[in-house]
Amino acid sequence: MDAIARHPQSSTTPRTAPWRSWWSRAWASARNRNARGWYFGACFGLIYQVIMVISIWTSMTTLSQQLLATVLLVPFYAGFLLLPPMNWGERRSIRLTVVGLYWAYTLLFFPLLGADTFWLWILVGAVATTLCEEFPVVVTVIAVLVAVPLLYGFVTDFIDSTFIAAPIIFSVAAMMYGINVQIKSLRELKQAQGEMARLAVVEERARFSRDMHDILGHSLTVVTVKSELARRLVTLDPARAEEEIADIERLTRAALADLRSAVTGYRELSLSTELAVAQASLASANIQAHLPQSAETAAPDLREVFGWVLREGVTNVIRHSGAKNCWVELTRSTMEVSDDGRGLPPAGSTRSGAWEGEDCAGNGLQGLLERAAAAGARVSTGASAHGGARLLVERAGEAAVDRSGERANA
Looking at residue 336, its pLDDT comes to 93
What does the pLDDT look like over 14-40, one tens digit per residue? 455 566 677 777 777 777 777 787 888
Among residues of the chain, what percentage have pLDDT more than 70? 84
Residue 283, phi-psi category: left (phi > 0), alpha (psi -120 to 50), beta (remainder): alpha
Looking at residue 215, its pLDDT comes to 67
Between 384 and 9, the higher pLDDT residue: 384
Looking at residue 329, its pLDDT comes to 93
What does the pLDDT look like over 234-271, one tens digit per residue? 888 888 888 888 888 888 887 787 777 766 666 566 78
Q: What is the DSSP string of 133-151?
A: --HHHHHHHHHHHHHHHHH
Domains, the chain, ranges and CATH? 30-190 (no CATH), 200-267 (1.20.5), 271-409 (3.30.565.10)
Of the candidate ranges 231-245, 249-263, 304-318, 385-399, the one whose mean pLDDT is the lowest: 249-263
Question: What residue type is assigned to position 5 of the chain?
Answer: A
**113/136 Cα distance (integer angstroms):** 31
What does the pLDDT look like over 70-95, one tens digit per residue? 999 999 999 998 888 888 878 888 88
Q: Which residues 6+ apart lie within 8 Å of 195 measured at CB? A: none
In terms of Cβ atoms closer than 10 Å to its own Cβ (0-12, 13-18, 19+), residue 307 is: buried
Gyration radius from the chain CA atoms: 33
The residue among 117, 8, 127, 6 whose CA lies nearest residue 52 is 117
Note if the pTM is more than 0.75: no
**291/303 Cα distance (integer angstroms):** 15
* Per-residue pLDDT band at 41 (split at 50, 70, 90): confident
**H helices then E strands: how many in the chain?**
15, 5
Between 112 and 211, the higher pLDDT residue: 112
Looking at residue 364, its pLDDT comes to 62
Looking at residue 326, its pLDDT comes to 93
**163/167 Cα distance (integer angstroms):** 8
pLDDT beyond 50 at 193: yes
pLDDT beyond 80 at 6: no
